[in-house]
Amino acid sequence: MDTCMRFRQLWKIIDEQYCFFEYKNIDWKAIGDKTAKKIKPQMDEQQLFAVLSEMPLYRDVSHYSSPAGSFEVPFYKRAQITCADLATAFEGRGPGAFADLDRLTVFADNLVPHVLRREGVLRYGAELLARIERGDLIDAGSAEEVEIRSAGVHAVERMCALLARRGTPCEARQLDSWLWHRGQSPRIKAAPRHRTRSVYY
């Protein structure tokens, strides 16, 4: 299977498993068609990534202000998922060959922190929790949204470190998969998670 067909396979995986494009008013088909025209069958890894990086849903960097100052918080959820999916689609070869998948963080969205909160790992302030339970929208890039996603990433990193110390090493992407499946249980689904209109998750 050449790179063009692999891209279509990747596009389909994202389309079917990771997004609610109509809800977010994103024409994913148009984005896929536009990107596909730039992909050639024999592209190398750098050329492929250069094309994929132009897709808007990969620029997942938030700006956060605190008393300590303002700074950027990079999450890159879809970029990281793309690497993981390329590794799977290409069976670890060619554009799917990565030597550092262990450096991926958890894929920060609204499900992982929700599962962690329901399991008692994270605690939200009373006002934020009330907004979530009412179904209020949490603005993309707001302090609350950045803090929720950041807390999820940090918690999973600490869990990985703890597991490693106990002799059971685990990568963040593996915990992400476990937490995602945990999030499908009726008990976890019974409570609302934060709602944000975002192209990044």
Catalytic machinery residues: 109
Cβ burial of 162 (10 Å; 0-12, 13-18, 19+) is exposed
Place of tokens 């963080």: 105
Indicate the SS3 state at residue 62. strand
The DSSP H or E segment spanning 66 is strand 61-66
Residues 6 or more apart whose Cβ sits within 8 Å of residue 187: 118
Q: Count CB neighbours of 39 within 10 A.
A: 18
The residue type of 10 is L
Nearest Cα residue to 19 out of 46, 58, 75, 64: 58
- The dihedral sign for the CA sequence 13, 17, 22, 23: negative
